[in-house]
Amino acid sequence: MTDYSAFRHLTIGQYLPYGSMVHRLDPRAKIVMFSLLVAAVTFANSYTASVILLVVLLGVVRLSRTPLRFALQGLRPALPWIAVFALMQLLFYRNPYGPKACSTIWNWGFIDITTCSIRQIGLMILRLLEFMILISLLTLTTRTTELTHGLERLLSPLKRLRFPAHELALVFAIALRFAPTLAGELERIMKAQASRGADFGEGGRLGFIQRTRNLLPLLVPLFISALRRAEDLALAMEARGYTGGRGRTSYLQLRALPRDYLALALVGAFCVAILFSTLDVLDGFIFSAVSAWAREVFFHIVH
């Protein structure tokens, strides 16, 4: 049973005003911290580092007074994909460390499940979790308008190099402004076409190709509507005296306070520490614990 109205309430990008200190940080600082943390998450290569990152991130979520389930909301639609990736990794991972570094848990033809593949999957899942929390943290604690202004201010020095910072920020802001509107429109169009007997795979009986072809009655009207809105909006903007970024002032004022610099310094130091550490104290412990558990599971499945 399809609940068409779910589209309207996507929570990625939704601002939840819990008024914590995280909410009150300058958006420019938050964007930079976000980028640093993304780098740390991407390049941390030990269980220990990842676990520390996870704990720290969960701590920040707590600090922001946001309930954890919101931070993990984005995970739910991605779960089937994560499962697929995990399976692919599990079955097809090629060990780059040499046969001595990993012990085989199970072997069947070219499928080689080793402790190393388990390790990779573990890391991958941890990383995904951390990315999800990071993105949610940023969007749940920062108004979209702050995000776009923050981005524009950060990129504005690049204007001297003819980089269209203002235009990009405007495009971003308008996209965010219209995302829920277009989602609502998609809902309306789906209902209208379904009412005419169109099948959107309710019940999943359709093949992939058929399902794609069935998208035309959805995508064409949506696209045309988006174009029409763009035209109308451009006219309205012109009528209100918009002639590009030059000479514009800003209603939203951003002021960096000492606490923003402090937070930035802390996070910066932390990320540097993570990236350049070779901390794998816990690695051995976690590694063997997970491997033992995995071995047990496989034995039970296979035998």
* Binding positions for other proteins, rule: CB under 8 A: 1, 3-6, 9, 143-145, 148, 173-174, 176-177, 180-181, 184-185, 188-189, 191-199, 202, 216-217, 220-221, 224-225, 228-229, 232-233, 235-243, 247-253
CB of 200 to other proteins, least distance (A): 11
CB of 174 to other proteins, least distance (A): 6
CB of 18 to other proteins, least distance (A): 13
The smaller minimum CB distance to other proteins, of residues 85 and 178, is found at: 178
Q: Kindly state the DSSP code that residue 107 receives in the 8-state scheme.
A: E
CB of 76 to other proteins, least distance (A): 12
The smaller minimum CB distance to other proteins, of residues 235 and 257, is found at: 235
In terms of Cβ atoms closer than 10 Å to its own Cβ (0-12, 13-18, 19+), residue 234 is: exposed
The smaller minimum CB distance to other proteins, of residues 209 and 302, is found at: 209
Contact 183, 8 (CB under 8 A): yes
3-state SS assignment for residue 104 = strand
Cα separation, 34 vs 263, in Å, equals 12
CB of 157 to other proteins, least distance (A): 21
What are the Cα distances from residue 215, in Å, to 15, 113, 201, 208?
31, 39, 10, 11
The smaller minimum CB distance to other proteins, of residues 143 and 159, is found at: 143
Cα separation, 217 vs 188, in Å, equals 12
Which pair of structure tokens corresponds to residue 260? 């923003």
The smaller minimum CB distance to other proteins, of residues 224 and 265, is found at: 224
Return the H-helix or E-strand segment holding 231: helix 216-239
CB of 163 to other proteins, least distance (A): 21
The smaller minimum CB distance to other proteins, of residues 6 and 88, is found at: 6
**Nearest-5° Cα angle at 24, 21 to 28:** 120
> How many separate helices (H) and strands (E) can be counted in the chain?
12, 2
